[in-house]
Amino acid sequence: MTTPRLPLFMGIAALVGAAALSGCASNPTWVKAGATDADLSRDRFACLKESQITHEGNYKMTTEGQFNSQHYNIDTRLFNLCMGDAGWTKQ
């Protein structure tokens, strides 16, 4: 006699759904009076570059198909300060 797997499946589906929703909620919207999407892209890119933290690790393939051991993380505090300095507010 086999046990029903539906409760296990439903539990896993609920966890996956909750994780997906929490990921959506963590993406802030940046606003600035009179700014265009191009302004946001330019300032966001500049702030991402400014707030990068480089560290060494295992080799990974780059987008150019080469291998590199440097990896980048973003210091979110520095990123948020940079965006604020550029006149953007998070909503």
Domain residue extents for the chain? 30-90
Tens of pLDDT, residues 16-58: 555 444 445 567 799 999 999 999 999 999 998 888 887 665 5
Number of Cβ atoms within 10 Å of the Cβ of 70: 11
Q: What is the mean pLDDT of residues 8-22?
A: 51
Hey, what are 67's tokens?
Answer: 């291998």
